[in-house]
Amino acid sequence: MNSKQKEIGIHGLVWFVLISFCLLLGSNGFAISHELVVVVVYFGLLNILIFYINYVYLLPHFLARKRYKVFLLSVVALVLAAGFVKYGLASFFEKEVLIGDMKKPMSFTTYYRHTLLASTFFVFLSCTVHFTVDWFRNEHSRKSFEKEKLTAELSFLKSQINPHFLLNSLNNIYSLAYQRSEKTAEAVLKLSEIMKYMLYESNDMRVPISKEIHYLENYVELQKIRLKDSAFVELDVEGDVSQTIVPLILIPFIENAFKHGVINDRANPVRIRVRATTGKLLIRVSNKKNQYSNKDDTGGIGLHNVSRRLALLYPGRHHLVINEDTDQYTCELSLDL
């Protein structure tokens, strides 16, 4: 069932319920009289017709096209014409409508004045429904557009991660191969595991923290192979790593430490601390600064990328602090999972 059919079905059900309710209310629990059927059903159908003339034709053809004067004149003409049609129907059912419990028929002026109020109410009702439906449709379209825009931006940001990391890793393996290192094959295997995670498992919106940690461990091991085990890194993980996280959100902090930090100082290793408590994750990465690192390139694509991803994926649920002094560089990220 498409949206148009669904809308028609809802309208039909609402009118059926309203007419049935009016009949039940007017009968006071007794048999439904002929007079009640005439007043509720026949005149109810006329009012419904007024509703849809405005809803289906006048509103979309005139008001939506900003032809305000034509719309106003059309509505007035509709209400006035409806009064004559209703009086004609009332004259046909004079006993049930115009006389009722009175001794003589209701005058045209009195009856016409009453019909104007009823017709105006149904015109107003159709305008209210039209504007309400339009608001919900526009709101749905806006949210859909924002979601599509968010998905596109996240896909773009994620696409930046893979080439950025792959470029660095291939340069590292090239260096090993150039030196004819025996660890080249091991490095290729580590890269293969890493790329498998990046290409397949990280396509999920969320992954267990344990998988993300394993990915970080593979990255660190790959870097150690490149640096011939002269890289000193402490990776400490604690807590419930079965909780889930957005994939590839932690690696930029470790990449940044390897790219701009001093890695080969045993006394000042790169320290990576991960703490996972219920509903919260804290990662802290600290490293000794490399005084010869290119200042203009600090952070590169990585930290700017992850900052934007955090803003999109964890709005109001993350806190990123970067501390830097003459010797030490520290990144600390807190996430509400």
- All domains of the chain, ordered by start, with CATH? 3-143 (no CATH), 181-336 (3.30.565.10)
d(CA 236, CA 285) in angstroms, rounded, equals: 11
Higher per-residue pLDDT: 30 or 225: 225
User: What is the per-residue pLDDT across 64-117, written as a single tens digit (0 to 9) for each?
Assistant: 888 888 989 999 999 999 888 888 877 777 666 666 555 567 777 877 888 888
Report, as an integer, the average pLDDT of 214-226.
85
Q: What is the pLDDT of residue 298?
A: 41
Mean pLDDT, to the nearest integer, of 8-36? 73
pLDDT for residue 159 is more than 70? no
Rounded to 5°, angle at Cα 56 from 53 and 62: 90
Q: What is the pLDDT of residue 286?
A: 92
Candidate from 17-26, 49-58, 149-158, 312-321 with smallest mean pLDDT: 149-158
User: What's the pLDDT at 31?
Assistant: 57
Predicted confidence at residue 330, as pLDDT, reads 92
- What whole-number distance in Å separates Cα of residue 75 and Cα of residue 77? 5
Q: What is the pLDDT of residue 258?
A: 84
Q: The tokens of 308 are what?
A: 């934007």
Token pair 């690192």 is found at 293
Query: What percent helix, strand, coil does the chain show, rounded to 5?
Result: 65, 15, 20
Q: Which pLDDT score is estimated for 272?
A: 94
pLDDT at 26: 65
Q: Please give the average per-residue pLDDT across 203-225, as a whole number.
A: 87
Task: State how far the Cα of 274 lies from the Cα of 266, in Å rounded to an integer.
Answer: 21
Average pLDDT taken over every residue of the chain: 80
